[in-house]
Amino acid sequence: MMEDLAKVVEAKHLGGHRVWLRFEDGLEGELELSDALWGPVFEPVRDPEYFGRFFVDLSLEWPNGASLAPEFLYRRLLEARRSA
């Protein structure tokens, strides 16, 4: 499956918990990720200001070690595009 090879190559914070992503294969779009930030490691990431401190290293990662798998983000973006 394509998402198994997904790599985030660019991301922009759009405010709150929204992000625009572009993957290596050219897939791009916006996602709302507030519902994906659960568990203790994401506690600081729930703060929109801290959320905006993400960086790209094949996926979205935060200074505290939290990250969202690129395959998860790819699937979410595909689902969002299908339902739009």
**Alpha-carbon distances, residue 19 vs 22, 37, 83 (angstroms):** 10, 13, 18
Is the pLDDT at 2 greater than 80, yes or no? no
As a whole number of angstroms, the distance between CA 53 and CA 7 comes to 19
Range of the domain at 71: 2-83
Q: In what order do the strands lie in the sheet with 55-56?
A: 55-56, 60-61, 67-68
pLDDT on residue 83: 85
Query: Which amino acid would we find at residue 28?
Result: E
Task: Write the CATH number for 9.
Answer: 3.30.2020.10
Domain count, the chain: 1
Is the pLDDT at 42 greater than 90, yes or no? yes
Tens digit of pLDDT for each residue in 20-32?
Answer: 999 999 999 999 9
Global pTM reads: 0.90
DSSP 5-25: G--EEEEEEEETTEEEEEETT
